[in-house]
Amino acid sequence: MEAREERLILVDTADQVTGSAEKIDVHRRGLLHRAFSVIVWDSEGRQLLQKRAAAKYHSGGVWTNACCGHPRPGESVKAAALRRLGEEMGFACPLEWLGIVQYHASFENGLSENEVVHVFRGRYDGPVTPDPTEAEDYRWCAPDRIQRDIATAPDRFSVWFQRYIAEEWPVARMPPGTGAPISGCNLSRGWNMTSDKSTEAPDRMADALTRIVGDLAADSGTIHFLGADQQLHLAAATSGMPQPVLDIIRTIPVGKGMAGLAVARGEPVNACNIQTDTSGDVRPGAKATGLAGSIVVPIFDGETVVGALGVANRAERTFTDDEIARLLEEGRQLAAERPAS
């Protein structure tokens, strides 16, 4: 399968298509392209690893996640992931999209990977029959064993899999269940609803967030409020956010990430592209959303900061002074409607 000419989808840092090119040429020139990785768990909480065939065009003979590859022009990323899982490992299972990782790595043979990687996960408990031209071995391994092995012998593992382990969210353990994709959620469950109007507050927060995101032509948004523990708690999030990202942002320490910094500083925190940001304001997990242009403003109740309102776009974006002023005013209105904590 490696010998057949294959064209890859070229993209920019916001994962917008810019063209296509032949696979080996892409890797020789280090062109940014779209890719996917699949993480597979069994019901015992073990992760499926494959040992790449020695004859692979790079990274042959090393251990990595269950499956990885590239969608073809005109093919969806999920369809490609399902196709390659069957071709490489000989089975199929439902897949859940988790988020996006971007990385660049060079290899001794002169090739390099420069990828925007869509990460999927699934659960499977049946037989595994790898194509030996793709994977020469496989094993089911507990997460703590994987971490120990990478710490002691990192050269035995692919560079991208090491990246996933370091960032943690791509290999977040799949919760118990049937193996079907896990749906996202819109609202935090962390609020202690005590007032007469508080049972309606989550719906009001979600409705307000939907309106704000739409009015600003954004693609995503979140609302957090400070709790009695002086941490930010998720009050609303737009649908479609990966579950591991929701788990990460459900509680945010003040001073950490864009939302925590907006509260700590009492001023907006803006990132033209969170995928390439080097300011230190963006937490690594934020890149999992696949979003680019982002801003978080503090929510004020009078002169007191009580939360954070964030919106983002898939493409690069710098928010104008007028848009920032509008978000700050929206925040003041949200403060008046916030649930009792």
Question: Could you confirm whether 6 is annotated as catalytic?
Answer: no
**Ordered alpha helix ranges (H), 133-256:** 143-152, 159-167, 201-215, 243-249
Active site residue 115: yes
Residues 306, 335: contact at Cβ < 8 Å? yes
Structure tokens at 116: 């925007």
Residue from 68, 88, 93, 316 carrying the catalytic annotation: 68
Q: Which residues contact 144 (CB under 8 A, 6 or more apart)?
A: none
Q: Which residues contact 280 (CB under 8 A, 6 or more apart)?
A: none
Instruction: Give CA separation, 203 vs 255, 300, 337, in Å.
Output: 28, 20, 11
Closest CA to 40 of 171, 183, 182, 177: 171
Residues 96, 115, 134, 330: which is the catalytic one?
Answer: 115
Token pair, residue 199, equals 């049972």
Catalytic residue positions, numbered: 68, 115
